[in-house]
Amino acid sequence: MAEIIQKDGTWVFDGAALRLTSGRDKNVGVLRRALGELVVPLGALAGISFEQGRRQGRLRLRLRDGADPLLHATGGRLAEPHDPYRLTVEPDRYGVAEYLTDEVRDALLLAGVPGTPVSGYLLPGPPLPLSVSAGDGTASFDGERVRLEWNWKTEDAKAAAGPRTLALADILGVEWQPSAGLENGHLRFRVTGAPVRERAKYDPNAVELWGFRRDPLMALVAAAVQARLPHPSAAAAAEASREPDAPAGDDHDALLRRLRELGELHRAGVLTDEEFTRAKQAVLRRL
């Protein structure tokens, strides 16, 4: 067993999984604290690295694409204080960090774990029920329904419709976007038959986030919902199966129109970056 204990957190590797527990240091973000202990099976790992610095070092885990609903829902946008897969290491523990890194790498090599994407989530997502208040509303999820309730800061046009209840079966996708600079963030649900508003401020299926302390906690709701939606690999396979065979004649023009449509859906926010890339590649393979 390999173990490293730091103010930033504790990582323990038993040969089959890594147990990540957040610390209580002031630099640990609210999201990591709320996650508590994460158990990452060896098969979910694509790699581990350790970077030394003069004042402190960094341990970093790299997960296989599609293994963690939290990473998928947040799209790699978690800032370091909230990222559970990074650990700050003090200089007097560099040797321990290097030992743990070698142990994990050796285990990955012996087990023959590939670095390729997975076809199903290998982490379960946050426990339920779950409720978070931040920005202009509260998002709750019980495993079957998402409920959005508004507060006094909500735009009148959005609040006038009252609370929203979204059945899981009607949710096509979810994303969490942090605020950046002058741009506000959001927790947004893409719902069957409902257009995506450009701004979360006016979107009844989105909570607008303004960069306050609790904003990252909305990523918990995003991850919990994502964990219960069809895995992205299944969505990509379904999209590919709907594509026609190799085009001839006028079909070539139809595929070009399809590419333009995908671009418009991506710009409108209906398709995420990942969904757009996959759908575009499926069309290009047939051009």
Beta-strand runs (E) in the chain? 2-6, 9-13, 17-22, 37-41, 45-51, 57-63, 86-89, 130-134, 137-141, 145-150, 164-167, 171-177, 185-191, 206-209
pLDDT in tens, 131-187: 999 999 999 999 999 999 999 999 998 999 899 999 999 999 999 999 988 899 999
Which of 118, 150, 35 is CA-nearest to residue 84?
35
pLDDT digits (tens, 9 = 90+) for 96-129: 999 999 999 999 999 999 999 999 999 999 999 9
pTM over the 0.85 mark: no
CB 200 within 8 A of CB 208: yes
- Using pLDDT thresholds of 50, 70 and 90, give the confidence band for residue 78: very high
What integer pLDDT is reported at residue 168 of this predicted model? 97
Residue 58 · residue 86 · CB < 8 Å: yes
**What's the pLDDT score for residue 237?**
56
What whole-number distance in Å separates Cα of residue 68 and Cα of residue 118? Answer: 10
CB atoms within 10 A of CB 95: 10
When pLDDT is cut at 50, 70 and 90, the band that residue 260 belongs to is confident
Structure tokens at 218: 């909305």
Task: Give me the sign of the Cα torsion angle 214, 195, 165, 146.
Answer: negative
pLDDT of residue 248: 46
For residue 87, the SS3 value is strand
120 CB-side CA count, 13 A: 1
Q: Over the chain, what is the mean pLDDT? A: 89
Task: Summarize the confidence of residues 46-68 as an average pLDDT.
Answer: 96
Q: What is the pLDDT of residue 265?
A: 66
Does the pLDDT of residue 39 top 90, yes or no?
yes
Which structure tokens are listed for 151? Answer: 């507060």
Round to whole Å and give the CA distance between 93 and 50: 12
